[in-house]
Amino acid sequence: MIERHRRFAAACAMVIGLLGFAAPAHAQSADLVLCDRIAADPADPDKPADVKGVAAIAPSDVATAIKFCKLAAAKSRRALYQLGRAYAANRQLPEAIAAYRGAAGKGNSSAMVELGVMYGTGNGVAQDMAEARRLFERAAEAGNPRGISNLAAVTGGAPADPVKARATLAKAAETNSSEAQYQLGVMTADGVGGAKDDAAARALFAKAAAQDHPGALMRMGEFTRDGRGGAKDLTAAKAYFEKAALLGNEDAKAALKRAECPYVIKDKNGKFVSNLCF
């Protein structure tokens, strides 16, 4: 009898051990899993790496997304952001704005970007470019690539406060954001918001180019072709231009064309007409 109890206890211990081994330390709720599956934003830095995300929530999934993202939003800021996406897809703008504000307040940078776009365009709220810029700045400081590019767009390439913009980009670049590295490289190369430093700009472009940023690849092509900020290397320059061109950069395509056809035809006023090939 005692031996039978011992065997039973050992079996229970084994089962408990196996269950404990199989259970993840931080299991996600089923609501969050479903919310992620049909409403996650592929570009959201909060999104787990194993979640693919969807560019746009399918119309047939909107109601389901609202249901499960609403349940998961109490404990997850990304679910709250995704709830905003679902409401926006359903054209429920007041609800979308409320969800985005809640997620942004909890630190979700993608929600900051969406709110910024709404304020910048006057979609669902009164247009307020100052508020749009503030939201893009917050997202950029968090390293959000869309926040960085949108901040550059609303400042028209000439920030109202170049020193602050450069500091913001420097902070975002530390998160290894290729867009931040590229934008900071441009400012550093042009001496906007701080000292002009070709070597530092080239280093930033190199980091962004390593992540296949088309603009940075184009800049690296120029810098290595001209020996700016470092060694001159025409072979490497061509490789950078080719990769940028493959990614759709039109300036890189033009640079490759010029390299193939180095002779320039000009009109009588000295204006460029075309490149001449042999």
Q: How many CB atoms lie within 10 A of CB 247?
A: 14
Q: In this predicted model, what pLDDT tens digit does every residue of 145-170 receive, in sequence order?
A: 888 888 877 776 566 678 888 888 88
* Same domain assignment for residues 190 and 262: yes
Asked if residue 185 belongs to a domain, the reply is yes
Number of domains in the chain: 2
Those residues whose C-beta lies under 8 Å from the C-beta of residue 213, and which sit 6 or more positions away, are: 178, 179, 181, 182
Asked if residue 19 belongs to a domain, the reply is no
Where a domain ends, among 154, 187, 203?
Answer: 154
Residue ranges making up the domain that contains 132:
29-154
* Same domain assignment for residues 270 and 163: yes
Structure confidence at residue 17 (pLDDT): 41
**Contact indicator for 179, 149 with CB cutoff of 8 Å:** yes
Asked if residue 6 belongs to a domain, the reply is no
Residue with token string 């389901």? 64
Asked if residue 11 belongs to a domain, the reply is no
* Same domain assignment for residues 40 and 137: yes
Asked if residue 9 belongs to a domain, the reply is no
Q: In this predicted model, what pLDDT tens digit does every residue of 167-208 receive, in sequence order?
A: 888 888 888 888 889 989 999 999 988 999 999 999 999 999
Q: In this predicted model, what pLDDT tens digit does every residue of 1-28 receive, in sequence order?
A: 444 444 434 444 443 343 343 334 345 7
Q: How many CB atoms lie within 10 A of CB 261?
A: 14
Angle between helices 162-173 and 178-190 (to 10 degrees): 140
* Same domain assignment for residues 132 and 164: no
**Contact indicator for 132, 119 with CB cutoff of 8 Å:** yes
Where a domain ends, among 139, 154, 169?
Answer: 154
* Same domain assignment for residues 134 and 33: yes
Helix H or strand E segment including 172 = helix 162-173
* Same domain assignment for residues 277 and 160: yes
Where a domain ends, among 134, 154, 174?
Answer: 154
Q: In this predicted model, what pLDDT tens digit does every residue of 63-110 receive, in sequence order?
A: 999 999 999 999 999 999 999 999 999 999 999 999 999 999 999 999
Asked if residue 256 belongs to a domain, the reply is yes
DSSP for 47-68, please give it.
S-TT----SS--GGGHHHHHHH
Which CATH number belongs to the domain containing residue 232 in this structure? 1.25.40.10
Residues 89 and 195: their CA atoms lie apart, in Å, by: 45
